[in-house]
A and B are shown apart, each in its own frame.
Chain A
Amino acid sequence: MTGRPALEIRGLTVALPGTGDVLRDVDLTVAAGECLAVVGESGAGKSVLARTLLGLTQDDRHARVIARTFEVAGRDVRTLPRRDWRALRGVDVSLVLQDALQSLDPLRTTEAEVGETLAIRRVPAHERRTRVLEALHAAGLPDAAARLRQRSDDLSGGMRQRVLIASALVGGAPLLVADEPTTALDSTVAARILDLLGRLRDEGRSLVLITHDLDVVARVADRVAVLDQGRIVETGPVAEVLGSARHVVTRALIAAAPHGPKATAPAGPGPELITARDLVRRYRAPGGGSVAAVDGVGVSVHAGETVGIVGESGSGKSTLARLLVGAERPDEGTVSTSAPPPRIRLIPQDPFATFDPRWTVGRILRTSTRTADTPEALLAQVGLAADLVRRRPATLSGGQRQRVAIARALAADPDLLICDEPVSALDVTTQAGILDLLVRLQADRGLAVVFISHDLAVVRKVSDRVIVMRDGRIVEEGATERVFAAPEHPFTRELIRAGGGG
């Protein structure tokens, strides 16, 4: 345990059938009690790396995994047979997946899931229960005994993640591999999970933390390795790599991560375009009764300004967007517009769902055009090549689809754009491109924009004013920089602290 690295890899190359080389000549070392973060965008090979560290990739007969050195907990695993890998998993090295509703078997109880590592090794039932409770406690799950009989859909996202971590701890593994453990969580919950991981590291465990989010790296990791297209392009202590990155990919990642205030100065707000007052929208709650998704919210948007709306899931921000754009009617309150009424267009979170699957990009754009612009001209305005007009949205990347959605909105010559989490599903570098595009378009055309997101750093980068929502109500609003510099409401402070200011 002392001195010997928990993980030592030199020259790891992984080739998968149909995809070719996914990892090329990767070197990684993790010392005992150290947290190494592996950063990269989607497609870099992070998930394959996580699975290879558990020997799961090697289970596939057609996968080729070779390395000069590959030692897990001091053991050479290069040619380890499947049965021996199974003995290692959960006890010498364990995996924590991203919280998806299906990361835990939804048909089994928490106790069964967390205790599975032990059950496989025929640990007797009463001892299993004791150790399960210990692991749940170590993972910080409140009221663990009551949770034993519950299943994954009885738990919130944060609790599920803790259960996942507990199931990785119960076998006493000294090395934990965590694959995007906080990506699906609200920022406040994610912050607490990261604190937990930091504590586990402090207690002597080694951690391989795989993520695309540099903020996560800064919070918990000791060292970081940057993965790009299967290769490690840079490694080093976190402060060094993030502070003075050497490789161009690392620098691009750092530059793309949103931080800091909006680049362009706000033009003086123009005439009022749309004003909502005392909006209330209720839904029937699953257990009976009604829940107010939006509870007494008022907002007004002027020409030429960007209003950012930030909140966690369930805060009501998406419902507010739908009320403003007219997709739903409020149960109480009014939405009044200027005369003549402004043309409002929506940039949705998932543009793919708003494209008719049978239509080409060209047809989509032509149908929405109210101006004399040709589809090709519209594509040029959003930075896409003209030959995309013949393609179908299913063949485009996430970033391209979002740009097409923006082009479609622009085709109508809008006065107001309502963007509902437009970049949440995109890679950091793609995200940066879309944000720059939106800021530029607004400056060029004097558009008004309502920008909704859970990511505070992103909102800060594009908004002149910001509104913070929680549980259907507005808890704080004001000029963006003022709110960041001197937040008044405790929830706003918690959000900023959870990592979203940069």
Chain B
Amino acid sequence: MSNPVAAPSLRAAFARLRPAGVVALVVVLAILVAAVWPGLIAPGDPLAIAPTDALAPPSLAHLFGTDESGRDIFTRVVHGTAPSVGIGLAATGIGIGAGLVLGFASGLGPKALDAALGRVIEVLFALPTLVMALLLVAVMGPGTGAAVLAIGAATAPGYARILRARVRAVAGSGYVEYARLEGTRRTRVFLRHIAPNTLWPLVGVATLGIGQAIVWVSALSFLGFGTLPPSPEWGAMLNAGRVYISTAWWMTIFPGLAIVVTATALTVLGRTAAGGGRR
């Protein structure tokens, strides 16, 4: 009966942020600003066409260059923060929601249910994410909504797996057993012990997951199944830039860089919050 990893308060979590975590936090905050108020950083219309300026390399006028219709890529990247991050958030929300239901049902329910659900979760988790997502998209048709749903459904088993393991560890822990021995009722034990110790650590995992979801969704868009142009969503921009890779590299590199930076920052932040960082 060993204790699962301790889940301290939010204050303690902040106190543990190391330099890498601080940098990541700053980056994430900047991204949030870009998502909420893109006009602050990049005034201008992301959809404005200027055919005469098409495929111009990066310059002072166009920091990230222009695309095949003359649209300024820097503006598009900044304005694309909201849809890109938003989609990642939505997909993660679906994934965690489904994962919570499955995880709690499996971890707290009768043994038979746990055995059955457990195996199904393991199998689903094992199937490659993109393959699963493509399966769903193939059947449901392309589009942003389908992409979000597909990634959400494809990542749900991963969350279910983590939650199930955590719920079982907490439910089988020494302090839960002691509380039950003292005569505490089940619902009370759940509310006071199981729920807080399971959900708080999820914050770190979720943060990390949002970064991953952004990457997955943009992968789908890149393949042509997600958001369609001319939306400034980063994956869609990558899809558009594919054809011009050798002539206008800036169309691909900069949106991709945005994805990498966002995903890395969220991952570092999530890791620091989840486990104090590894040596």
Residues in chain A within 8 A of chain B (CB atoms): 325-327, 345-346, 348, 350, 352-358, 367-368, 392, 394, 412
Q: A357–B2 contact, CB under 8 A?
A: no
- Which of B2, B4, B175, B178 is in CB contact (< 8 Å) with A346? B178
Residue among A326, A350, A355, A357 facing the most chain B CB atoms (10 A cut-off)? A357
Minimal Cβ-Cβ distance residue in A for B184: A367
Shortest B174–chain A CB gap in Å is: 3
Among residues of B, the one whose C-beta sits closest to the C-beta of A346 is: B181
Q: Which of B195-248 contact A (CB under 8 A)?
A: 196-197, 200
Find the A residue at minimum CB distance from B3.
Answer: A353
A358 and B181 contact, Cβ closer than 8 Å, known pairs A353-B1, A353-B175: no
- Are the CB atoms of A352 and B3 closer together than 8 Å? yes
Q: How far is the CB of A408 from chain B (nearest CB, A)?
A: 9
B1-59 residues at the A interface, CB under 8 angstroms: 1-4, 6-9
Query: Is B144 at the interface (CB under 8 A from chain A)?
Result: no
Q: A358-B6, A358-B7, A358-B8 are in contact. Are A353 and B181 (CB under 8 A)?
A: no
CA distance A419 to B8 in the complex (A): 29
8 A Cβ contacts from B156-183 to A: 173-175, 177-178, 181-182
The answer to the question of B62 belonging to the interface, with a C-beta cut-off of 8 Å to chain A, is no
- Cα-based distance from A368 to B8 in the complex (angstroms): 21
Mind listing 6 A-B residue pairs with CB under 8 Å? A345-B182, A353-B174, A356-B175, A357-B4, A367-B192, A368-B182
B35 smallest CB distance to A (angstroms): 32
Chain B residues with CB under 8 A of A358:
6-9, 196-197, 200
| Closest A residue to B6 using CB positions | A357
Question: Which residues does chain B contribute within 8 Å of A326, judged by CB atoms?
Answer: 181
Residue of chain A at shortest CB distance from B182: A368
Q: Kindly identify which residue among B6, B8, B175 contacts A354, using a CB–CB cutoff of 8 Å.
A: B175
Task: Tell me, in angstroms, the Cα distance from A357 to B9 when the chains sit together.
Answer: 10
Bound complex: CA A350 to CA B3 (Å): 10
14 A-B pairs besides A368-B182, A412-B182 with CB distance below 8 A are A327-B177, A348-B174, A348-B178, A350-B1, A353-B1, A353-B3, A354-B175, A356-B192, A357-B3, A357-B7, A357-B8, A357-B175, A358-B8, A358-B200
List residues of chain A with CB within 8 A of the CB of B175. 353-357
Complex partner residue of A350 from B174, B182, B197, CB under 8 angstroms: B174
Complex contacts, B4 vs chain A, CB 8 Å: 357
Interface residues on B, range: 20 to 34
A137 to B109, CA, bound (A): 54
Q: In terms of DSSP, what is the predominant structure of the interface of chain B?
A: loop
Docked pose: A354 CA to B172 CA in angstroms:
11
Choose among B1, B6, B192, B200 the residue that contacts A394 (Cβ–Cβ < 8 A): B6
Expressed in whole angstroms, the minimum distance between the Cβ of B195 and any Cβ of chain A is 11
Most buried by B among A327, A345, A353, A367: A353
In Å, the complex CA distance between A326 and B193 comes to: 20
A131 to B59, CA, bound (A): 77
Q: How far is the CB of B151 from chain A (nearest CB, A)?
A: 32
Contacts of A357 in B (CB 8 A): 3-4, 6-8, 175, 197
Q: How far is the CB of A347 from chain B (nearest CB, A)?
A: 11
| Inter-chain contact B7/A354, CB cutoff 8 Å | no
CA distance A354 to B3 in the complex (A): 8
Task: Give Cα distance in the complex from A358 to B201, angstroms.
Answer: 12
- B177 and A354 form a contact (CB under 8 A): yes
Measured in the bound complex, the distance between the Cα atoms of B180 and A326 in whole Å is: 10
User: B173, B178, B181, B200 — which one has the most chain A CB atoms within 10 A of its CB?
Assistant: B178
Residues of B within 8 A of A354 (CB): 174-175, 177-178
Assembly CA distance A412 to B196 (angstroms)? 25
CA distance A345 to B183 in the complex (A): 11
Q: Say whether, besides A358-B6, A358-B197, A353 and B182 are in contact (CB < 8 Å).
A: no
- A residues in contact with B9, CB < 8 Å: 358
Q: What residues of A have a CB within 8 angstroms of the CB of B8 in the complex?
A: 357-358, 392
Nearest A residue (CB) for B1: A353
Within the assembled complex, what's the spacing in Å between the Cα atoms of A348 and B193?
19
Chain A residues, CB < 8 A from B2? 353
- CB neighbours (8 Å) of B174 from chain A are 348, 350, 353-355
Complex CA distance for A119 and B3, rounded to whole angstroms: 41
B178 — which chain A residues lie within 8 A by C-beta?
346, 348, 354
- A414–chain B nearest beta-carbon distance, Å: 10
User: Chain B contacts of A367 at CB under 8 A?
Assistant: 192
- Across the A-B interface, the 9 shortest Cβ-Cβ residue pairs: A353-B174, A357-B6, A354-B178, A354-B174, A356-B175, A353-B3, A354-B175, A353-B1, A356-B193
Q: Which residues of B contact A345 (CB under 8 A)?
A: 182
Q: How far is the CA of A358 from the CA of B181 in the complex (A)?
A: 19
Please indicate the chain A residues that have their CB under 8 angstroms from the CB of B3 in the complex. 352-353, 357
Distance in angstroms from A337 CB to nearest chain B CB is: 14
Q: Which A residues are CB-close (under 8 A) to B177? A: 327, 354
Most chain B CB inside 10 Å of its own CB: which residue of A345, A348, A354, A412 = A354
Residues of B near A348 (CB, < 8 A) are 174, 178
Q: Tell me the minimal C-beta distance from B83 to chain A in angstroms.
A: 37
Considering the chains assembled together, what is the distance between the CA atoms of A412 and B183 in angstroms?
A: 11
B177 nearest CB neighbor, chain A only: A327
Q: Which residues of B contact A356 (CB under 8 A)?
A: 175, 192-193, 197
Q: Which residues of B contact A346 (CB under 8 A)?
A: 178, 181
How far apart sit A345 and B182, CA to CA, in the bound complex (Å)? Answer: 8
Q: How far is the CA of A358 from the CA of B176 in the complex (A)?
A: 13
User: Nearest Cβ distance between residue B146 and chain A, in whole angstroms?
Assistant: 40
- A327 & B181 in contact (Cβ 8 Å cutoff): yes
CB-CB under 8 A from A368, the residues of chain B are 182
Contacts of B197 in A (CB 8 A): 356-358
A104 to chain B: closest CB distance in Å? 23
Across-interface contacts of B173 in A (CB, < 8 A): 353
Query: How far, in Å, is B100 (CB) from chain A's closest CB?
Result: 19
